[in-house]
Amino acid sequence: MSQISRVRRLTAEQARRVAISSQRLHRAGLTATPAEGEVTTRHLMREARRLGVVQIDSVNVFARAHYMPLFSRLGPYSMGSLDKLGSARHQGFFEYWAHAAAFVPVDDWPLWQWRMQDHRIAAAREDSWAHENRRFLDWLLDYVRDHGAVTSSDVEHERNVRRGQWWGWSDVKQGLEHLFTTGQLAVAGRRGFEREYTTVERAIPAELREIEFSRDEAQLALTERAARSLGIFTEADLADYFRMKRADTRRALTSLIAQKQVRTVTVAGWEDPTWIWAGTSVPRASSTETDTVPARLLSPFDPLVWFRERLERMFDFHYRIEIYTPSARRIYGYYCLPFLLDNQIAGRVDLKSDRKNGRLLVQAAWAEPDAPEHSGQALAAALREAAVWQGLGDIEVASRGNLAEPLRQALA
Q: Hey, where are the domains in the chain?
A: 125-204, 320-411
Beta bridge partners of 353: 360
Class of CATH domain 320-411 = alpha beta
How much is the pLDDT for 102? Answer: 95
Residues in the chain with pLDDT values less than 70: 1-7, 27-37, 88, 158, 160-168, 286-294
How much is the pLDDT for 342? Answer: 86
Q: Whole-angstrom Cα distance, residue 124 to residue 130?
A: 7
Q: Whole-angstrom Cα distance, residue 174 to residue 347?
A: 40
* 342 residue type, one letter: D
Write the pLDDT tens digit of every residue in 202-237. 999 999 999 999 999 999 999 999 999 999 999 999
Q: How far is CA 330 from the centre of its chain?
A: 24
How much is the pLDDT for 7? Answer: 55
How much is the pLDDT for 146? Answer: 95
What is the side-by-side order of every strand in the sheet holding 262-267?
9-10, 262-267, 274-277, 232-233
How much is the pLDDT for 344? Answer: 94
pTM of the model: 0.91
CA distances for 343 relative to 250, 295, 372, angstroms: 29, 10, 10
Q: Whole-angstrom Cα distance, residue 185 to residue 198?
A: 6
Fold type of domain 125-204: Arc Repressor Mutant, subunit A (1.10.10)
Write the pLDDT tens digit of every residue in 350-375. 999 999 999 999 999 999 999 999 99
By the 8 A CB rule, do 298 and 349 touch? no
Best CA proximity match to 228, nearest among 316, 306, 303: 303
Return all residues near 18 (Cβ < 8 A) that are at least 6 apart. 4, 10, 231, 232, 276, 280, 282, 283
3-state SS, the chain, equals CEEHHHCCEECHHHHHHHHHHHCCCCCCCHHHCHHHCCCCHHHHHHHHHHHCCEECCCCCCCCCHHHHHHHHHHCCCCHHHHHHHCCCCCCCEEEEECCCEEEEEHHHHHHHHHHHHHHHHHHCCCCCHHHHCHHHHHHHHHHHHHHCCECHHHCCCCCCCCCCCCCCCCHHHHHHHHHHHCCCEEEEEEECCEEEEEEHHHHCCHHHHCCCCCHHHHHHHHHHHHHHHHCEECHHHHHHHCCCCHHHHHHHHHHHHHCCCEEEEEECCCCCCEEEECCCEECCCCCCCCCCCCCEECCCCCCCCCCHHHHHHHHCCCCCCCCCCCHHHCCCCCCEEEEEECCEEEEEEEEEEECCCCEEEEEEEEECCCCCCCHHHHHHHHHHHHHHHCCCCEEEECCCCCCHHHHHHHHC
How much is the pLDDT for 26? Answer: 80
Return all residues near 272 (Cβ < 8 A) that are at least 6 apart. 234, 235, 236
Strands 101-105 and 54-55: antiparallel
Return all residues near 311 (Cβ < 8 A) that are at least 6 apart. 304, 305, 317, 319, 345
